[in-house]
Amino acid sequence: MGGDLAEEKSVNYRAAIDIGTNTVLLLVADKTRDHITPIYEAQLLPRLGKGVDTNRNISTKAAGRVGGAVQSHLEDIQQRFGEIPVRITATSAVRDARNRDEVLRQLYDSTGYPVQLLSGAEEAELTFRGALSMVNQHSENPVVVDIGGGSTEVISGQGSRIRAAHSWDIGCVRFTERYLPEMPASKTQIEACRQGVLDGLGQGGPDFSGFSTELIGVAGTVTSLAALHQKLPGYDASRINGYRLTLEEIEKFMKWATSLTRQELEQLNPEVMNGRSDIMSAGLVILTEMMNFWGFQTLQVSTGGLRHGVILDED
């Protein structure tokens, strides 16, 4: 049954699997020239990068969890769409690991698919393209932020052409482990996390101030923020994509959210907070500090991202 749909339009269908620090994301899209239409999306949360910030190694157990997640996505693709091109990429957690070659071999052995390890620059370019593909943005100089589990990328462009990009080792899993191990976090812990973001930004990188007053955000922190801020009962991409919040609204929400227990946060939206509740506080701190650092006044949420850019990049 899964191959019936693929037989009708398989020539244009592409799949991208993105192995992140916290998630393994799947996108199947219909690609027509320089445009994609998302057909199917799924996420699993095996948290590959757990403990990588401390020991710089990915455990065999964590790699096994990710291999299982990738295999599950591959089986999902096969069942729903039949044989279509699949591209699998890995980012910060694997880049940072001393045993990354061993992990990549383990993933290949368990799935039968090669995994492309993206550099920070490649990740930034693909994320930028993917983010812009899903929103209506009016700035001639758009700026995109991707807050991941292990790293955060910020990319600015002139139209669709990238002008500046940088990746910092500032991520919601990394900073949860480093600064916010408790829920709710104390004021001292929140302040330490804030300072950690500022220290990281101060170590170098482009100046993203003055490009635009609006920041375009992708990935779990901002999509979860949009869902929770609207009090959605689940994940509704049609209401999350393009949602705008002011910096003032985000800061107010952050102060409230960081005062909650893990159970209280999960109860707000169990679907969205599943596997993310414990790292949400760090993500919100990172977001607010970056917006303040460069003077962004509003955030527009995009459900696009790296996997959308990967499919756009395909021939």
Do 169 and 108 fall within a single domain?
Answer: no
Does residue 297 share a domain with residue 196?
yes
List, for residues 62-86, the tens digit of each pLDDT value: 889 999 999 999 999 999 999 999 9
If asked whether residues 71 and 170 sit together in one domain, one would say: no
pLDDT of residue 211: 85
Range of the domain at 136: 121-306
133 and 78 in one domain?
A: no
Residue 274 has a CB neighbour count (10 Å cut-off) of 12
As a whole number, mean pLDDT of residues 102-126 equals: 90
What's the pLDDT band for 97 if we cut at 50, 70, 90? confident
290 is a domain residue: yes
Q: In this structure, what CATH number is given to the domain that contains residue 16?
A: 3.30.420.40
Average pLDDT, the chain: 89
Domain tally, the chain: 2
Together in a domain, 107 and 199 = no
Domain assignment present for residue 314? The answer is no
Out of 93, 117, 141, a domain closes at 117
Q: Is the pLDDT of residue 227 over 90?
A: yes
Instruction: Write down the pLDDT at residue 115.
Output: 94
Residue that terminates a domain, selected from 117, 139, 167: 117
The arithmetic mean of pLDDT across residues 102-115, rounded, is: 92
Q: Which of 117, 149, 166 is the last residue of a domain?
A: 117
| Type of residue at 151 | S
